Structure 1
């Protein structure tokens, strides 16, 4: 089942009213917090219904199953994160890279439960959830590649270099939101510097992929 089919399966059987859609969104918001702090297997539908203060049948009505509920939470979080990370398309390439990293950190900082769900929540148990997380990584890689190289169809070596950087960002960001000792600006600049190192390493091994020159800051 592809991501589009997963999304269709996670939708309520009937569109319903604005009130019902708001209720669905509320259930997803509750689920983000529940599944960020507790593993998928540790929460039963009875637990979820009790903590959400709703009848268990309501969750089945909107999501058909516990797994459908979990996938809907992941997919909603993914859509928001990708939108944040891909913002700033009107900017110059180097500025867009800065904006992408800042947006990514801003999202993680202000949506910590959702971010944990995307990056580490339940990934090991479900290949479809793993696939969704990989989709986020590919979206970030595409955004960085577009900003750095002006295109997204890059060679395997360049993609692997960017993937290695994205994976390191995930781990560092998880630690940062748990121990926010660095201001977001400092964290962003650190990640920009490490991205610069990754881009230069890619250029060393594949000269066709020239690393963008750092933007000069006015005094």
Structure 2
């Protein structure tokens, strides 16, 4: 894992952020100053080179310039598409601007730089996933888990770029803000699973078992997006069955996990 470095002057240096900010300081100020001027013109509705207009192209009537939120969302979506296929270090602001059909100055205006855009893109994907992971309130534990897993794969399918960017689009060590976003989603997913299983505080063996299963779910999602040779419902059933099996094995090593497995088995048989 990459750690923060203290320089001779006593200042902290983040090696990950430095990957995104290898431009001369003077040039950066000039670019950002120009970006702010051009961005302000775009928000005010003035003509800006490279700025896209939504609506009819013939004449002025029916033309609508994107709002601030719409333009920001469009830039984030373009960034997610790129970050899901390549490392952020290999993507430039020009790439994002071209993907979104915008000027590079406008990208700088909204986000300040590539690192800020990367964090905003990850945060956007994480927020969408967290909404879908709201736990069901009805049904037996494994039934609630099946519903949650279906919602998870709804996100995988409908937000493929965001899902892929969250899991494989960033620096290998995932330190700093990017790591906090990804770790936060994983902790949220663990909390949702425990809620579905009616468990408040998991014993260590159960916690480890569930985190191992979560890694399996993440890998299955990426594999499904790449190959799509297993029907989604079949994959979701397979993953739930895998969890039941590994919980049964884990129960041999921990009485608390074993008791949970027995309870789940009884409830499943009672509902069949």
Does the pair score TM above 0.5? yes
Report the secondary structure of 2:256's partner residue.
coil
Report the secondary structure of 1:37's partner residue.
coil
> Paired residue for 2:202?
154
Which residues of structure 2 form unaligned runs of 5+?
A: 1-39, 45-65
Aligned-partner Cα distance in 2 for 1:103–1:57: 37
Aligned 1:110-189 pairs, distance under 5 A = 110-124=158-172, 126-128=174-176, 129-151=178-200, 153-189=201-237
> Paired residue for 1:215?
268
> Paired residue for 1:53?
101
Normalization by structure 1: what TM-score?
Answer: 0.83
Which residues of structure 1 form unaligned runs of 5+?
A: 1-13
Tell me, yes or no, if the aligned pair for 2:141 and 2:197 is still in contact at 8 Å: yes
Shift of 1:60: 1.9
Tell me, yes or no, if the aligned pair for 2:80 and 2:121 is still in contact at 8 Å: yes
> Paired residue for 2:239?
191
* Structure of greater relative contact order (alpha carbons < 8 Å, 6+ residues apart): 1
Aligned length: 204
Q: What's the RMSD between the two structures over aligned residues?
A: 2.4
4+ residue stretches of structure 1 with deviation over 6 A? none
Shift of 1:82: 2.1
My pick for the range that moved more, 76-85 or 125-134, is: 125-134
Tell me, yes or no, if the aligned pair for 1:85 and 1:143 is still in contact at 8 Å: yes
> Paired residue for 1:205?
253
Shift of 1:87: 4.0
Shift of 1:146: 1.2
Aligned-partner Cα distance in 2 for 1:131–1:170: 17
Normalization by structure 2: what TM-score?
Answer: 0.68
Relative distance call for 1:208 and 1:69 in structure 2 (3 A) is same
> Paired residue for 2:149?
101
My pick for the range that moved more, 44-53 or 138-147, is: 44-53
Q: Mark the structure with the bigger radius of gyration.
A: 2
Shift of 1:59: 1.6
Relative distance call for 1:101 and 1:52 in structure 2 (3 A) is same
Deviations, residues 41-75 of structure 1 (Å, cap 9, x unaligned): 11111222222221222222221211010011101
Tell me, yes or no, if the aligned pair for 1:123 and 1:130 is still in contact at 8 Å: no
Deviations, residues 124-157 of structure 1 (Å, cap 9, x unaligned): 1541323322222111111111111332x32322
Report the secondary structure of 1:49's partner residue.
helix
